[in-house]
Amino acid sequence: MAPPRVLTTAREAAEFAETTRRAGRRLGLVPTMGYLHAGHVSLMTEAKARADLVAVSIFVNPTQFGPSEDLARYPRDLAGDLETCARAGVDVVFHPEAPEVYPPGHQTFVEVVELSRGLCGERRPGHFRGVATVVAQLFALFRPHLAIFGEKDYQQLLVVRRLARDLHLGVEVVGMPILREGDGLAMSSRNAYLSAAERGRALALFRGLAAARALFAKGTDDAKQLTDVVCEALRREDVREDYVALVEGQTLVPLERAHAGARLLVAAFVGATRLIDNVGLG
């Protein structure tokens, strides 16, 4: 498979987008922070099925990291990522340096107010402002017909959908199911931080979610009972809860009673590593 063309400047990205549009070709975009795994490949595969050309961005976005978070040590492997993109049939990779995205004097940010509150938005202040800002830039540069995001970052998916809708960007934002390891662990670049022992303990997130989902299927709809099941699974493996929440699936409004279409989300620390996961109910 031919290697993808690598773009490093905003001008190159805009020129590629203009050429694609003039040719009447449908463009799919897959925004990532790199260190690509099979979950990312599933997004690229979907983009390739839906579009004529596929662009992947690889950019560790500094504005979505807090002062004490893992920006400096976030895993990176550009050579491996380019090989992965080539195997997936990606046409273009956008890999800019930070000053290209946030040049000196940059002062414009985008915020999706309501959907950014609570959950990861509460635990990571400013995170979704950074996400919305970089995604808005990517959409402005590439003008894609569709963009593919994973449901593991469920709050992010809803934030991006609202961003595209509210700003009339004409981008179809497609959510793809979480891809899991054989034992249920949600695929994540941050899994690379886990020791072998921590990797085993991390299964508590999905085990708890799966147990709560089974309880709901048997007729239990009380939010406290469902979230307690998840919390207990975390405690058994000495995994520190950040939050466990039952919310409405499209608005993220907290629920006292579960219903079909509700979402159960968890964030927790396995050692020093913060992981997130979620399941739909019904």
* Reduced 3-state DSSP string for 51-82: CCEEEEEECCCHHHCCCCCCCCCCCCCHHHHH
Tell me how far apart the alpha carbons of residues 162 and 116 are, in angstroms, rounded to a whole number. Answer: 10
Instruction: Say which residue the tokens 């995604």 belong to.
Output: 135
pLDDT (0 to 100) of residue 140: 98
SS3 140: helix
Is pLDDT above 90 for 137? yes
Tell me how far apart the alpha carbons of residues 179 and 43 are, in angstroms, rounded to a whole number. Answer: 10
The fold of 5-176 is Rossmann fold (3.40.50)
pTM of the model: 0.97
Higher pLDDT, 185 or 2: 185
Is pLDDT above 90 for 1? no
Q: Quick one: which of 216, 239, 238 has its CA closest to 226?
A: 216
Q: How confident is the model at residue 39 (pLDDT cuts 50, 70, 90)?
A: very high
Q: The tokens of 266 are what?
A: 């968890």
pLDDT (0 to 100) of residue 81: 98
Q: Quick one: which of 147, 150, 151 has its CA closest to 50?
A: 147
pLDDT (0 to 100) of residue 2: 84
Q: Domain ranges in the chain?
A: 5-176, 189-280
pLDDT (0 to 100) of residue 124: 97
For 60, phi then psi, to 5°, come to -80, 100
pLDDT (0 to 100) of residue 14: 98
Is pLDDT above 90 for 22? yes
Q: Strand locations in 95-212, DSSP E?
A: 146-150, 172-176
Query: Among this protein's residues, is 95 annotated catalytic?
Result: no
Mean pLDDT in residue range 49-75: 97
Contacts of 277 (CB under 8 A, 6+ apart): 152, 178, 186, 205, 206, 209, 265, 266
Tell me what the pLDDT averaged over the chain comes to. 97
Active-site residue among 40, 95, 106, 127?
A: 40
Contacts of 241 (CB under 8 A, 6+ apart): 231, 234, 266, 267, 268
pLDDT (0 to 100) of residue 9: 98
Is pLDDT above 90 for 247? yes
Contacts of 173 (CB under 8 A, 6+ apart): 146, 147, 149, 157, 160, 161, 164
| pLDDT tens per residue, range 219-243 | 999 999 999 999 999 999 999 999 9
| pLDDT tens per residue, range 99-128 | 999 999 999 999 999 999 999 999 999 999
CATH superfamily of domain region 189-280: Pantoate-beta-alanine ligase, C-terminal domain (3.30.1300.10)
Q: How confident is the model at residue 93 (pLDDT cuts 50, 70, 90)?
A: very high
